Chains A and B, each alone.
Chain A
Amino acid sequence: MAFAAISTAFIALFLFGLALLIAREISLVIEQVTGNVEVAVYLSDPVRSDTVARLESELQQLPAVDSVTYEDKEHACQRARELFKSNPAIIENVSCDVYPASLRITLADTSQYAQITAALSCETDATGKVACAEPGVLEVRDYRDILDRLSAITRVLRNGVLFIAIIMLASATVLIANTLRMGMFARRKEIGIMRLVGATNWRIRVPFMIEGLVEALAGAGLAIVTLFLGKVFLVDQLRSQILWFPLIRNSDVLAIAPLILIAAAGVAVVAGTIGIRRFLDV
């Protein structure tokens, strides 16, 4: 019975941790692909610093805009090379000159994207390309769509796994509570004598609560170890195959370990409360 409780706690906490890691992984991907930039305003060559300053302050004043950062050609090139690290052919054959400088914008209100195109007097042509009349502006790219889609995927995946994890956590709680109850039933004679000779409720309960806590924490420990091994043997194998793709690191697994332990403690407390309550009355 204790084995069943520990293994259910393990599976539940493993899925819980997996959900957190999936969310972390997808946010890494989003970060890498878009730099969390929702709109990019590419500037035409040659870039003049007074044009940059003018556009920057102009965009900053729009209520829809949250922040504007300037990325010069050199940075754009570095970022591209980072992205194509595994494909030296691209890096060798494309000179740094072709990467345009840009103003990278995050939006305070993504639905107000039109403010930006209006401010720069842009027109969308038949191919979907946004050309602007504003001097110095090459093109405006709208990344909201990609961001939206990626976050939708994140949400579905994370919520799905979290949903399963919550059901598993609930069953782990019930199983541990049951184990405690069976333990108390097996020792009902001892408990009866303890009550009779004047042992306090706490003296009677604490060993069982510790048992529940140990079972939950054992499950948590196994879950953390399994997630770590999964990271080492699966994720790290992938890392050498797809270099351009950002993958979770040891520190990410380490960061969710306390959350798993807290969830385990929560399971133990709830299980202890429902498992022991029936035997509470002195």
Chain B
Amino acid sequence: MISLQNVTKTYRNGVTALEDVSIEIEKGEFVFVVGPSGSGKSTTLRLLLREEEPTSGEVYVAGKNVVRLSTLGGIPKLRRNIGCVFQDFKLLQDKTVFENVSFALEVIGKPKHVIDGRVPEILDYVGLGEKLNNYPDELSGGEQQRVSIARACVNRPLVLLADEPTGNLDPNTSVDIMRLLDKVNKIGTTVVMATHDQAIVDAMRKRVIELDKGKIVRDQSRGVYS
């Protein structure tokens, strides 16, 4: 599903974020990418989304070489297959829960009947079936993150990328969010999650890829944080 082959990424300011990194992730896997700040976790996710291009090496997502994709059609199509969740939720404050999720379908041109079918369904799935018409500032942090997960999953992506999804949440809420991500993973979505959260990594016992200064120092199935 995801393949990084000898990927090196050096930013224009000369910082090398990744150095000769190779990762293979199968369809349906749940993978933690851990490591200290600046170790290259976020860069890895940005490469998969084709927000960055590798300086050298190849990046494949769902069988496509993402470097060769065109800005016109290829990259948007890639991103429709990838859901994204962030630490800061990235919700639109002037839109309701329903509108935040439907926005993701509207802007890729899905017809209204599809939107009206899928949005309540996915919001029900993440446990927010009762809060369709609330605004983000009326929700708790955990609920806001659920909205963002619903938005990431409403188009049924092959891959879900999560960048510190529990970074703003208290431990109990974090556990709930991890249960939800696990549930999303169980229905076949490949999940790649970058995190600092030791307790969660240790509790989940999933594959762990540890980065340090842009290099893989550990790749362990059913691993713990360190």
**Residues of A participating in the B interface, judged by any CB pair closer than 8 Å:** 189-190, 192-201, 203-204, 280-282
Contacts and interface: CB of A to CB of B under 8 A. Distances in A.
Interface stretch (B68-76, B125-133, B184-192): B68-76
A278 to B, nearest CB: 14
A200 B155 contact: no
B76 A282 contact: yes
A197 B72 contact: no
A201 B92 contact: no
Given A203-B109, A282-B71, A198 B92 contact: no
A197 B104 contact: yes
A250 B98 CA distance: 54
B103 interface: yes
3 nearest A-B pairs in the assembled complex, by CB-CB distance: A198-B79, A198-B80, A199-B107
A199 B108 contact: yes
B77 interface: yes
Interface residues of B, number: 22
28 contacts: A190-B92, A190-B103, A192-B90, A193-B90, A193-B92, A194-B107, A195-B79, A196-B79, A196-B84, A197-B84, A197-B104, A197-B108, A197-B155, A198-B76, A198-B77, A198-B79, A198-B80, A198-B155, A199-B76, A199-B107, A199-B108, A200-B73, A201-B71, A203-B108, A204-B107, A280-B71, A281-B71, A282-B71
Q: Is the interface of B mostly helix, strand, loop or mixed?
A: loop
Given A189-B90, A192-B90, A282-B76, A197 B151 contact: yes
Contacts of A204: 107
Interface in B87-118: 90, 92, 103-104, 107-109
Contacts of B77: 198
Contact of B72 (A193, A194, A201): A201
B144 to A, nearest CB: 14
Contacts of A195: 79
Nearest to B155: A197
**Most A C-beta atoms less than 10 A away, residue of B72, B80, B92, B107:** B107
Nearest to A187: B92
Contacts of A192: 90
Given A189-B90, A193-B92, A193-B103, A200 B72 contact: yes
Interface in B4-25: none
Interface of B: 49-50, 71-73, 75-81, 84, 90, 92, 103-104, 107-109, 151, 155
A198 B103 CA distance: 12
A222 to B, nearest CB: 31
A196 B160 CA distance: 12
Given A193-B103, A198-B80, A201-B76, 18 more contacts: A192-B90, A193-B92, A195-B79, A196-B49, A196-B84, A196-B90, A197-B151, A197-B155, A198-B77, A198-B108, A199-B107, A200-B73, A201-B71, A203-B109, A280-B71, A282-B50, A282-B71, A282-B75
Contacts of A201: 71-72, 76
B218 to A, nearest CB: 30
B107 A203 contact: yes
Among A194, A196, A201, chain B packs the most CB atoms within 10 A around the CB of: A196
A193 B71 CA distance: 16
A189 B79 contact: no
